[in-house]
Amino acid sequence: MPDPVKAGRRRTAAPSKGDLREQQILDVLEDLLAVKSFDSLTTSDIAERAGLSRASTYFYFSSKQEALVALFARTVESLREKSRAAAGDPAAPRDAIATAMTRTRDRWHEHGLIMRVAIDQASTIPELGTLWTETADVFIDAITTILVRADVASHEGPDGARALAGALCWMIERTFYHASAVSPEALDQASETCRVVWLRTAGLEP
Give CA angle at 117 (112, 120), nearest 5°: 125
Residues 105 and 173 in one domain: yes
Domain tally, the chain: 2
Nearest to 3 by CA among 114, 131, 115, 123: 131
Cβ neighbors of 112 (< 8 A, separation 6 or more) are 176, 180, 181, 187
Q: Is 88 a domain residue?
A: yes
Q: How much of the chain is helix, strand and coil, in % rounded to 5?
A: 75, 0, 25
State the Cα–Cα distance between residues 61 and 57, nearest whole angstrom: 6
Residues 112 and 197 in one domain: yes
Residues 192 and 102 in one domain: yes
Residues 84 and 115 in one domain: yes
Q: For the segment 83-118, what is each residue's pLDDT rounded down to a tens digit?
A: 888 888 899 999 999 999 999 999 999 999 999 999
User: Is the full-model pTM beyond 0.75?
Assistant: yes
Residues 163 and 111 in one domain: yes
Residues 83 and 147 in one domain: yes
Q: Is 109 a domain residue?
A: yes
Q: For the segment 14-51, what is each residue's pLDDT rounded down to a tens digit?
A: 667 767 889 999 999 999 999 999 999 999 999 999 99
Q: Is 142 a domain residue?
A: yes
**Residue 104 maps to which CATH number?**
1.10.357.10
Q: Which domain holds residue 194?
A: 75-201
Residues 20 and 49 in one domain: yes
